[in-house]
Amino acid sequence: MTKAEIVQAIYTKLGGFSKKEAADLVDLVFDTMKETLGRGEKIKISGFGNFVLRDKRQRQGRNPQTGDPIVITERRVLTFKASNILKSDLNPARTGAAGATNGSGATSAKSPTNGGG
């Protein structure tokens, strides 16, 4: 999903905003997130997840093509950890035929004798 698609979704679902106001709203949210992360603060969105900026130290690495040792410079990386609510929404409990067993705990194979194939 692109930023333009987010703007369009807000414009159509919420109503009461012009497209420019919806775009300004999305820009404001992203700018606020960037500023917060830039200060080294975490962003916790209930029911969604956590954004955390981590500092990684300088370390030794290798050029994968030549095998020569190189120094990987220190840097900041952004990590995201999904909340359990988001994880469960993305992975609903599976019920029905997928993974069904034949009563003995074994997965039943489809064959002409058991109604498959």
Is the whole model's pTM more than 0.85, yes or no?
Answer: no
In single-letter form, the type of residue at position 60 comes to: Q
Q: Structural domain boundaries of the chain?
A: 1-40, 42-92
17: exposed, middle or buried (Cβ count in 10 Å: 0-12, 13-18, 19+):
middle
22 C-beta neighbours (distance < 10 Å), count: 21
pLDDT digits (tens, 9 = 90+) for 8-51: 999 999 888 899 999 999 999 999 999 999 998 999 999 999 99
Confidence of residue 90 (pLDDT cuts 50, 70, 90): very high
> In the CATH hierarchy, which fold is given to the domain comprising 42-92?
HU Protein; Chain A (4.10.520)
Q: How many CA atoms lie within 13 A of 26 on its CB side?
A: 18
Residues paired with residue 44 on neighbouring β-strands, in sequence order: 50
